[in-house]
Structure 1
Amino acid sequence: MTPPLARVAEAHRRLHDVIADLTDAQVAQPSLLPGWTRGHVLAHLADAARARSRVVEHQARGEVVALWEPGERDAIIEATASRTAAEHRAATVEHSERLERAWAAVADWSEPESPDVPDPLPAVFTRWREVWIHLVDLDLGVRPAEWGVDLACHAVDVLRPRLPDGFSLRATDVPRAWGTGVEVSGPVRDLAAWLSGRGGPESLASASPLPPLGPWPTYPSRR
């Protein structure tokens, strides 16, 4: 299976464009994520790229390291959220480019035979999703309407477990449907936005009231 490395690079370029003129005042303003400023979102995106790069680089040497040690992820976000806009831009570009280089050097994308060896593929899809989803959270003009159809369908594939049993999903703009039961229908981007908590149900239709969504699912191993 060929990973969507070009799609990750495209998401990174969009992120770089969006923050190109970001000011220090905007960094300190609230994002759409409760309790997080835009600086927190940017700190998370930059450090997630750094942490994933480190895992891939160590694996190339036959070494296995944790993505983060306990508590490390949140501590780094809090410590770096208050960077200046210029510092956030520099960190974002540095770590996203480092991650792209690390993945470009991976020769074998097949599933590892040993469960002790990290599978490099799921992290690529995770990065693709997280950049586009957090671009919305930055509240700097990117909305789910900008998500590609392939990303939206992929997000629904991954996030459908948030939907309770007895409900199904059907996209009205592409030939895709998920599950059985009471149908929730609408444009695929709007389905993905609703499931990801980045959009309301206004454009969705259902014979029954829309159900509350469950917790964020554990990501599948390879998708």
Structure 2
Amino acid sequence: MALIDVKTAAARLTELVDGLDETTARGDSLLPGWTRGHLITHVANFSYAFTRQVEYALRGELVEVYDGGRPARNAAIDAGADRPAAVLVEDLSQAVTGLLAAWDRVGPDDWSRPISHRNSTLAHGIDATWRELEIHTSDLGLGATPDEWPATFCAHLLDFLRPRTPKGVHLVLQPSDGPVWEDGTGEERVLTGTLTSLTAWYAGRPTTTPVEGPEPELLPYP
């Protein structure tokens, strides 16, 4: 993963919501129970939180991802979801711009610095940023779909999501436009489709083209 991939994903997201109107902002996203206002607020808040993760890491310090943990995170999303559309868009733009500026300050020797998010490192953190931007752009339901996910992102996401493969299942994904991907041991389940649709299925997202084969019941998102 390169920072340019994150910047490309960020540009796609901010361009997608530019000019958002009130009706569209109140409409449902593709995430159950969340409007687009909820989702935009979440991505903005994530960006602010991760900017802080980067800034503290570069000082050799750790800080909680969200003050007050997950309950405070959820409350902040609910509190911000119904803001005017223009405010949602401006907040997202500011948050993402600040986050990209923070990542720009990370030097070649900084990537192993620890962060609190998943008890990981800045190298893992920029991957998390990539996932957040790419996936939630599609989740907005504004025309962007997983079909736009780059092949490099699909490869990364499939690897990240390996904990979703059930025990006792040898999952084989056979894309029509990419290499075979396998995980697990046991009863073989072979699924076919495009790379983006197979990746979207594994991520629990709608697919634009069919995924064919005996689908196992996946474990929760890691």
- Shorter-chain TM-score bucket reads 0.7 to 0.9
Q: Is the 8 A contact 1:58 1:64 kept in 2?
A: yes
Please list, as runs of the form range in 1=range in 2, the aligned pairs for 1:12-27 lying within 5 A after superposition. 12-27=10-25
Equivalent AA in structure 2 for residue 170 of structure 1: Q
Instruction: Please state whether the residue corresponding to 2:192 is helix, strand or coil.
Output: strand
Counterpart position of 2:175: 171
Residue 82 (structure 2) aligns with: 82
Measure how far apart 1:56 and its partner are: 1.1
Between the two proteins, the alignment pairs up a number of residues equal to 212
Question: 1:210-221, aligned counterparts within 5 Å?
Answer: 210-217=215-222
**Do the aligned partners of 1:64 and 1:118 also contact (CA within 8 Å) in 2?**
no
Retained in 1: the 8 A contact 2:25–2:35? yes
Work out the CA distance in 1 between the residues paired with 2:111 and 2:30: 37
Structure 2: gaps of 5 or more residues: none
* 1:157 to 2:159 alignment: yes
- Select 1:9's aligned residue among 1, 7, 12: 7
The match for 2:47 is 49
Instruction: Read off the aligned partner of 1:150 and give its amino acid letter.
Output: T
Percent identity of paired positions between Structure 1 and Structure 2: 34
Question: What is the Cα deviation at residue 110 of structure 1?
Answer: 4.1
**Structure 1 residue 185 displacement after superposition:** 2.2
Match in the other structure for 2:200:
193
**Counterpart residue type for residue 179 of structure 2:** P
Q: What do residues 8-32 of structure 1 show as CA deviations (whole Å, max 9, x unaligned)? A: 1111111111011210121111111
Aligned to 2:191: 184
Distance 1:158 1:113 in 2: 19
Structure 2 Cα separation of the partners of residues 4 and 161 of structure 1? 24
- Superposed structure 1 runs of 4+ greater than 4 Å apart: 112-115
TM-score (norm 2): 0.87
Whole-Å Cα distance in 2 between the matches of residues 44 and 110 of structure 1?
25
